[in-house]
Amino acid sequence: MTSTTINNLPPFSNEPFTDFATVENKRAMLEALDHVRAELGQTYDLIIAGCRLETPETFHSVNPANPSEVIGIHYAARAKEANEAVDAAQLAFDRWKKTSVAERVTLLLRAADLIRQRHFNFCAWLTLEVGKNWAEADADVGETIDFLEFYAREALRLDAATTPIQYPGERNLFRYIPLGVGAVIPPWNFPLAIMAGMTAAAIVVGNTVVLKPSPDAPTIAARFLTLMEEAGLPDGVINLLQGGPEVGRTLVENPQVRFIAFTGSKKVGLEIHERAARTQPGQHFIKRTILELGGKDTILVDADCDLDAAVEGVTAAAFGFNGQKCSACSRVIVDSSIYDAFCDRLKVRVESLTNGAPAENFQTGPVINEVAKKRVLTYIEVGRSEGRLLTGGSNVETDDDGYYVAPTVFVDVAPTARIAQEEIFGPVLAVIRSENFDEALAIANNTEYGLTGAIYSSSREKLNRARDEFHVGNLYFNRKCTGAMVGAHPFGGFNMSGTDSKAGGPDYLTLFTQAKSIAEKCGSIPDTPAK
């Protein structure tokens, strides 16, 4: 791709969703699943400075719908490998920061093209490693392409930045320069999109990274890095470490690591934030944390709404990918005048959901692992004492011993109940009654989180009030609270939902840079003649 092509990129547009109802796309997905199944069980090395490394211990990634099916075998990094990876990233940084923006952008665009060509294969990996049905996997892959394409264009925009004014008698420059070495610690629930998005944002502006994926989704990260190498990634720009908490803590505390980009739980994110704030011997900068944490996301259903649309939106937001999204609707606040009708229709809609293996494209499937299943079932027991069970509430037995929990709804839940306040991260929804719109807004804002929210109403006045008073980072009117689109819905939350990083937005790349202002007195020395 030439610099001329780079300078004439078409405007960004989101990758279209795949229609799996067509025979061609259904066949392609089934073929991709067969192809990926033939590659299951391979062993994956660590990658440091472009070299493949083995360690004494390995761990397995398994299919949550069938835990006996091994997706990949991975060497587990230790503190030793973590520090070596940081050293390798630091060495690579000295070269990569001098690489032209056009070359870095070209790398992202090549990677986007390669993923586009292998779209169905990546969908299949997502289906088998983390249990996404076809539509959820397709959205994950599409968002990955969007992040690569969007951040490529954003890097070009930042590179063209200027000062707001030129001061008389001076030549004023303004440049965004990279921070240095960063640790990227992505989650398992969007193991391609968020992993690739955070990594691409860091490297396109000149940083180098050590990537530590979740132990629940290591294979997808390994295959992504192989693709990046195919696209032309230089050695050491991205270093891959698989492993557990020890590796993450070592990265966070390493005095050469200048930033940590993390998406995951509030508990782990706050620990990272605290550890990063402690200055280590030899550290001569303040570490930056870019954190997207949890949510307790609310949909308001007002008396004047389209009730059927509200039921559909709540169901999709609560039980899409089995409630395992930080943006998932985990509580719905319903006006008392329509409360009973809403609950009746919601029960029918939730019970119509089909539950089964994601590879067979059921609407709902397993949670990610045994620990998650036990946590969700524990909250269901809590819910039995805090509300009335409307539907679900049980473990789902399968022949393959998958980690299934039935989509569960509790009604008549108090706004301060545990299941109305604590992040469950599973298919459990709390329904709360409100007497009026003022009370509904107050309840919506009564958690420690502030990630996503939505309101169904036909009143412009109420929508305007929600715009000003509903305190979340991503607010949606008359649509579900999940499904943020890159470019249109910059994503990140308030309060304990993180640092409001706004992934996929115009400010995101600045989080991985520092701004340098340069002023030169005009005429102080002759300009160098152009060669």
Sequential DSSP letters for 108-134? HHHHHHHHHHTHHHHHHHHHHHH---H
Return all residues near 380 (Cβ < 8 A) that are at least 6 apart. Answer: 392, 393, 394, 405, 408, 428
Cβ contact 293:498 at 8 Å:
yes
Residues 163 and 254 in one domain: yes
Residues 382 and 398 in one domain: yes
Show the 3-state SS of 291-321.
EECCCCEEEEECCCCCHHHHHHHHHHHHHHH
Residue 17 placed within a domain: no
Residue 188 placed within a domain: yes
Q: Catalytic site residues?
A: 292, 326
Residues 286 and 309 in one domain: no
Residues 256 and 206 in one domain: yes
What type of residue sits at position 429?
A: L
Dist. CA 204–CA 111, nearest whole Å: 12
Residue 351 placed within a domain: yes
Query: Which pLDDT belongs to residue 397?
Result: 85
Map residue 145 onto helix, strand or coil.
helix
Residue 492 placed within a domain: no
Query: Which pLDDT belongs to residue 529?
Result: 56
Domain total for the chain?
2
Residues 195 and 307 in one domain: no
Residues 153 and 238 in one domain: yes
What are 260's strand-pairing partners? 183, 289
3-state helix, strand, coil in the chain (%, to 5): 40, 20, 35
Residue 79 sits in a domain whose CATH number is: 3.40.605.10
Residues 509 and 414 in one domain: no
Cβ contact 299:312 at 8 Å:
no
Cβ contact 193:147 at 8 Å:
yes
Residues 348 and 413 in one domain: yes
Query: Which pLDDT belongs to residue 4?
Result: 46
Question: Residue 304's CB: how many other CB atoms inside 10 A?
Answer: 14
Residues 441 and 508 in one domain: no
Tell the residue number behind the tokens 């940590």, with chain if given.
260
Residue 177 placed within a domain: yes
Query: Which pLDDT belongs to residue 153?
Result: 98
Return all residues near 474 (Cβ < 8 A) that are at least 6 apart. Answer: 327, 451, 452, 453, 481, 484, 489, 491, 492, 493
Residues 156 and 199 in one domain: yes
Residue 155 placed within a domain: yes
Residue 514 has φ and ψ, to the nearest 5°, of -130, 145
Encode the chain (531 residues) as per-residue pLDDT tens digits.
554 467 789 999 999 999 999 999 999 999 999 999 999 999 999 999 999 999 999 999 999 999 999 999 999 999 999 999 999 999 999 999 999 999 999 999 999 999 999 999 999 999 999 999 999 999 999 999 999 999 999 999 999 999 999 999 999 999 999 999 999 999 999 999 999 999 999 999 999 999 999 999 999 999 999 999 999 999 999 999 999 999 999 999 999 999 999 999 999 999 999 999 999 999 999 999 999 999 999 999 999 999 999 999 999 999 999 999 999 999 999 999 999 999 999 999 999 999 999 999 999 999 999 999 999 999 999 999 999 999 999 988 888 899 999 999 999 999 999 999 999 999 999 999 999 999 999 999 999 999 999 999 999 999 999 999 999 999 999 999 999 999 999 999 999 999 999 999 999 999 999 999 999 999 878 776 544
Query: Which pLDDT belongs to residue 316?
Result: 98
Query: Which pLDDT belongs to residue 530?
Result: 47
Return all residues near 129 (Cβ < 8 A) that are at least 6 apart. Answer: 61, 63, 71, 72, 191, 216, 217, 219, 220
Residue 527 placed within a domain: no
Residue 453 sits in a domain whose CATH number is: 3.40.309.10
Show the 3-state SS of 461-530.
HHHHHHHHHCCCCEEEECCCCCCCCCCCCCECCEECCECCCCECCCCHHHHHEEEEEEEEECCCCCCCCC
Residue 47 placed within a domain: yes
The pTM is what? 0.97
Residues 246 and 156 in one domain: yes
Domain of 48 in residue numbering reads as 25-61+71-293+498-517
Query: Which pLDDT belongs to residue 6?
Result: 76
Query: Which pLDDT belongs to residue 528?
Result: 67
Question: Residue 325's CB: how many other CB atoms inside 10 A?
Answer: 25
Residues 323 and 227 in one domain: no
